[in-house]
Amino acid sequence: MCGIFGVTGLPDPLTLVADGLRALEYRGYDSAGIVTVDPERGELWRCRAAERGRSIEKLETKMHDAPVHRGATLGHTRWATHGAPNEENAHPHVDCSGRIGLVHNGIIENHRELSAELRSAGHAFSSATDTETFAHLVESKVRAGACLREAVAACLGSVTGDFAVALVDAAEPHTIVAARRTSPLIFGRTPIGAIVSSDIAAALPTTRDLYQLGDDQVVELSPDGVVVIDASGAPAEARRLAVSWSVEAAQKSGYPDFMSKEIAEQPVALAQTLLGRFSSAGVPELEELALSRRELAGFNRVVLVACGSSYHACMSGRDAIERLAKVPAEVDIASEFRYREAVLGADTLVIAVSQSGETIDTLHALREARRRGAKAIAVSNVVDSVMAREADGVIYTHAGPEIGVASTKCHLAQHALLAVFALHLAHSRGELSGESLAAAAAELTALPGLVEAALTGSQDHAAVARRYVGVNDFYFLGRRSGFTVAAEGALKLKELAYVRAEAYPAGEMKHGPISLIEPGAVVVVIALRDGLWEKVMGNVEEMRARGATVVAVCEEGDQETEAAADAVLKVPGAGALVRPIVGVVPLQRFAYEIARARGNDVDRPRNLAKVVTVE
């Protein structure tokens, strides 16, 4: 969602900030803005733009009017929550005097009460945002004599909600002050200055000397150094980040978009996810996880929580855990789980799965699980993410940065890692023989090659997809692991192509939705050769009998399925553990092609954000 990027002490700060904002675009935004301090005049200069997809370009034009002297500079990409996505509501916001500039990510939950108090004390507001409240709050402390750092620290106790803020003050021209609670914010040092950023990928081109600000910590950045304090003003320490990503990993590197790059990277990403996960005898090893085998064996129930594509990975994780480890497992959508009043105890293991490790619903679900007495671990792609830090243990997918809003390589990596976890749990409980473990390890080790074959096989999945560019109604059907594939395929198509795509367990169609099937409907059926293939083929017949066009995801050489369908998307045959992972691949391409042919931006689909940091 919103992105923050700021610099102090570095040459050409406006260009650096604009570049930082471009790197943060993927988080999703509808307006953008920049503020810089003019040290000569002791005043702020600010520009903002609200033009979907072109706001940063607009800012770059406006930047020609910026003052020659530029001190501390902050930029922001806004994804509207409070107040329409227009220029008045775009950040940076300023206080009454125009002396303090502020950018913000998250929500100030008690903004109504605070702004009522501030208004009655004479503060004039110029936007409909919750953000502006914070600027006026800080203003009131600064007016009372506090420096910017002290003022921000003093405000933390008054605001509720999850947020990250960064501020400049015309009276301290080379200083940036930033603070956070839950929402992401890191800072970095260079020999001559410092930066603040919402994420690592945007910061990497400037420095690798990066630090994670703790909850309710405040950092003051200036060319003279860095000072970290807590909300009481006492000295504090931020945590140094271990950064393994390269700058190139977060660039398109010749691909037309991040999504096609990330689809192509899947075999390598999976190889990284699986690297070092098995001993030579095929025994699963999850050393990252801070839970011993003995502790793991003590859990009687597993609950997986996640959102979107991560939720779909959990669906197959649940199945693998039950089938292999024989532990009752369930999966819940994080935003629902949080309010479910789930009965949890010390014998329950909750697994929060999130690419970003920041998704607010999943984070709150993780917190709720721990509050209710369960142990909670995180599966995260971003190292040191908020969830990774708050959980009782973490395992990383190590898939490299994922910039495209639609999750591809990280989704596959989550599937694979949850399969490894299921094996680890099974082994800890003594449920699998050495032979079965070795066979499962071999199946997973072959996965990168299978995905490579699915991507480069004889069939052109894109050509099949192009036949359905004009269709507005899709149904995705499958059973068990086929249904997880169907759910992910439908989500990809919805979010990228903006067409209706409903996923149903194939057996459920007769209980209502089949009444929607009429000539013209396109039904994508997952017809992989698991134990339910024959039943799925029965469903294919039902669809065709009602005039639907059937596109089947099937295995290479499966002539029976090919004969029964109008079109097929072929993948290599695979074992039960990896079949749902391989099955997703052609559907990523299917959605990608249809979206591109419809003129949509696949990296930044409308209304969506890569990282959903508000409820």
* Active-site amino acid positions: 2, 610
Query: What ranges in 157-283 are assigned the alpha helix state H?
Result: 200-203, 258-264, 266-274
Site for ligand AGP, rule CB under 6 A: 307-310, 354-356, 359, 362, 405-407, 495, 611-612
- In angstroms, what is the minimal distance from the CB of 318 to ligand AGP? 16
- In angstroms, what is the minimal distance from the CB of 492 to ligand AGP? 6
Q: For residues 307 and 414, what is the distance between their CA atoms, to the nearest angstrom?
A: 13
Q: For residues 310 and 356, what is the distance between their CA atoms, to the nearest angstrom?
A: 10
Return the number of the residue (249 or 283) whose C-beta is nearest ligand AGP.
249
Return the number of the residue (173 or 583) whose C-beta is nearest ligand AGP.
583
- In angstroms, what is the minimal distance from the CB of 411 to ligand AGP? 7
What sign does the dihedral 280-281-284-286 (CA atoms) show?
negative
- Specify whether the CB–CB gap between 101 and 168 falls below 8 A: yes
Return the number of the residue (316 or 356) whose C-beta is nearest ligand AGP.
356
Return the number of the residue (399 or 611) whose C-beta is nearest ligand AGP.
611
The torsion angles phi and psi of 467, rounded to 5 degrees, stand at -70, -15
Q: For residues 172 and 614, what is the distance between their CA atoms, to the nearest angstrom?
A: 31
HSE (CB half, 13 Å, CA atoms) of 361? 17
Q: For residues 369 and 391, what is the distance between their CA atoms, to the nearest angstrom?
A: 10
Q: For residues 613 and 420, what is the distance between their CA atoms, to the nearest angstrom?
A: 28
- In angstroms, what is the minimal distance from the CB of 475 to ligand AGP? 19
CA distances from 386 to 244, 334, 472, 609 (A): 17, 16, 38, 18
Return the number of the residue (180 or 427) whose C-beta is nearest ligand AGP.
180
Query: 583 by DSSP, 3-state: which?
Result: helix
Return the number of the residue (387 or 423) whose C-beta is nearest ligand AGP.
387
* Residue linked to tokens 């500039």: 101
Residue nearest to ligand AGP (CB): 308
- In angstroms, what is the minimal distance from the CB of 405 to ligand AGP? 5
Return the number of the residue (490 or 564) whose C-beta is nearest ligand AGP.
490
- In angstroms, what is the minimal distance from the CB of 392 to ligand AGP? 18
Q: For residues 278 and 271, what is the distance between their CA atoms, to the nearest angstrom?
A: 12
Q: What is the rounded radius of gyration, in angstroms, for the C-alpha atoms of the chain?
A: 25
* Residue linked to tokens 């920049």: 34
Q: For residues 222 and 251, what is the distance between their CA atoms, to the nearest angstrom?
A: 29
> What secondary structure does DSSP assign to 539-553, as a single string?
HHHHHHHTT-EEEEE
- In angstroms, what is the minimal distance from the CB of 272 to ligand AGP? 17
